[in-house]
Amino acid sequence: MMETSTPSPEFPMRANLLLSLAAVLVACENEPLGGDDAVERSAEERVLDRAMAFQGDGFVEVSAEMVPSRAVAGLILEWVTADAWSAFAQVSPDVTGSGVVLPDDSLIVRAVHDEEGALSKYTVAWFPPGGGALEDIFFLVADPDWAVMTVDGVRQAGSLSTCQGCHAAREDDGWVFGVPR
Ligand code: HEC
């Protein structure tokens, strides 16, 4: 009997918490449905988050020093997610037909520098789980501050045909060129 008549001191706080939770839920429900666009954007955010951590524990630095790019004027450095390293290490830009397939969720960061060694941009490739096709690869280009770049009005994030153009030649090598040399 005593128990029911003594109000729990926690109660008002709990009630407040529930009210703010309810407010958040209502706010979420009022968000417009995003469709494909929203899906693409959140993938972009996730790729950016992971790519920006390229100097952390989850990555292996591929190249000890900058080497000239075979694709663009400039010098490159690369990092791959730790899980992808053993597969990536078997791929060389000089050889095709390694038969290597990168593990699901692999992410590669290439830092492109000018001839003087100043960072000009990052290019990223993410291999989504369950997707083995060239079109499944999420490509991204970011400026040195990790802002996604736009080229000729096209935001450089997603299944980009410009990137596919060259990487298509690497079909038998996990769609990548491998350890720069
Ligand atoms: C002109 C051909 C060409 C195009 C177009 C191209 N790439 Fe590449 N990419 C290469 C080559 C060659 C390499 C090997 C490293 C190097 O020499 O720069 C490479 C390497 C990479 C790598 C490192 C992983 C690997 O393949 O070994 C990433 C990440 C990457 N490119 C992302 C992109 C993105 C993003 C785009 C589109 C914006 C793109 N690439 C467009 C030729 C190209």
Verify whether ligand 1 is closer than 6 Å to residue 166 (CB atom): yes
| Confidence (pLDDT) at 38 | 72
Average pLDDT, the chain: 86
Distance CA 156, CA 163 (A): 9
Q: Where are the beta strands (DSSP E) in 23-92?
A: 59-61, 67-68, 75-81
User: Per the structure block, which two tokens stand in for 152?
Assistant: 């000729």
pLDDT above 50 (res 156): yes
Given a cut of 80, whether residue 31 has pLDDT beyond it is: no
**Would you state the pLDDT for residue 44?**
96
So what's the pLDDT on residue 34?
A: 52
- H or E element at residue 43: helix 35-52
Pocket test for ligand 1, best of 91, 163, 164, 175 (most atoms within 8 A of CB): 163
More reliable by pLDDT, 114 or 12: 114
User: Checking DSSP bridges between strand 75-81 and strand 107-113, what pairing results, if any?
Assistant: antiparallel
Does 8 score more than 70 pLDDT? no
Tell me the mean pLDDT in the region 91-114. Answer: 98
Whose CA is closest to atom 26 on ligand 1? 176
How many angstroms does the Cα of residue 54 sit away from the middle of ligand 1?
17
Is a pLDDT exceeding 70 seen at residue 132?
A: yes
Alpha carbon nearest to ligand 1 atom 20, residue? 177
Residue nearest to atom 37 of ligand 1 (CA): 163
Higher pLDDT, 71 or 30: 71
pLDDT over 90, % of the chain: 75
- pLDDT, position 65: 93
Model confidence over 51-71: pLDDT tens digits? 999 999 999 999 889 999 999
By C-alpha distance, which of 82, 77, 78, 76 is closest to 60?
82
Mutate to test the pocket of ligand 1, among 98, 143, 167 (most ligand atoms within 8 A of CB): 167
